[in-house]
Amino acid sequence: MPNVLLLHGGAGSDNTYTDALNRYASNTASMKSKNPLDFVVESVRLMEDDPSFNAGTGSVKRIDGSIQMDAAVMVKNSIGSVSAIERVRNPVMVAREVMLQTPHVMLTGDGAVKFARAMGFQDYDPTTERTENIWKKMVDFFNGKEVELPERYSEYYRYAKIFGFPQHKDTVGAVARIGGKFAAAVSTGGSSPMMRGRVGDSPLPGAGLYAGENGAVVATGIGEEIIRKMMCYDIYREIGTRPLGEILKEKVESFGKVLVGVIAVSEDEYASYSNSSMATGISTWP
């Protein structure tokens, strides 16, 4: 079967992202490597460096004004993950180093930052003018000022003033089938608004991503609900039992109105499905 690299720009992302995602997929496909991990990491790195996405540069701020990011990579029998990592440019690259250079699966918080520095990743502030403005509007909203905000802020406030039900958007992810082997990678700045220390589905194997000998799956959407259903492993264990697109559609629609999307590759298929808009990019080659 041909090699395939499939990217997503997050559940809720619109088609304005499509050209960029196709370009990133195409650029990555020109790599000489035969390792699927290299392809998913490089494509996610490109998305992390694009301030349009809520991952790496451009990650959203938490309620306290800090930026904490999550990322993970996975291949058959091997996982690397970071959560609540701060002041690095490319969390997905740190996650790869966790997998390749340590006996651990996940590093979090200041431990993840110290590891990143030891691996040569320099101090970096991912704040952008866009995310600073989003945070200022959120603060004004919580202080009772009338400001124009996305609908998700109103829902959040209705649920519980400050510590409510978070929603997120613009998580980035990639799955690849290269030479018959599979890999998955995901990165996110989290949701806005959210508490410091909150961890969503992205860095959790089985929830935000899963890869094995039969394929690779990456999720995006409301992290808490994705975790509760262990969405990616739930999909992975059914790969090969029926058409891949049918599996994705059924699993996503089981969430009802909860924002969810997914991309996946198997031995002979690839597919994506979301219950909202979700920009994707793809490249295939012999």
Query: What pLDDT score does 53 carry?
Result: 92
- Which residues carry out catalysis? 171
Query: What pLDDT score does 167 carry?
Result: 42
* Per-residue pLDDT reduced to its tens digit, 179-193: 999 999 999 998 777
pTM: 0.90
Query: What pLDDT score does 150 carry?
Result: 53
Distance CA 217, CA 205 (A): 10
Q: For residue 15, what pLDDT band results from cuts at 50, 70 and 90?
A: confident
Mean pLDDT of all residues belonging to the chain: 90
Inform me whether the pLDDT recorded for 161 exceeds 50. Answer: no
* Per-residue pLDDT reduced to its tens digit, 120-144: 999 999 988 887 877 777 666 666 6
Q: Which residues of 98-134 are buried (b: 16+ CB within 10 A; e: fewer)?
A: bbeeeeeebbbbeebbebbeebebeeeebbeeebeeb
Instruction: Indicate left, alpha or beta for 56 from its phi (over 0: left) and psi (-120 to 50: alpha).
Output: left
Assigned CATH for 3-127+165-285: 3.60.20.30
Alpha helices for the chain (secondary structure H): 18-29, 36-48, 91-101, 109-118, 129-142, 151-160, 223-229, 231-236, 244-253
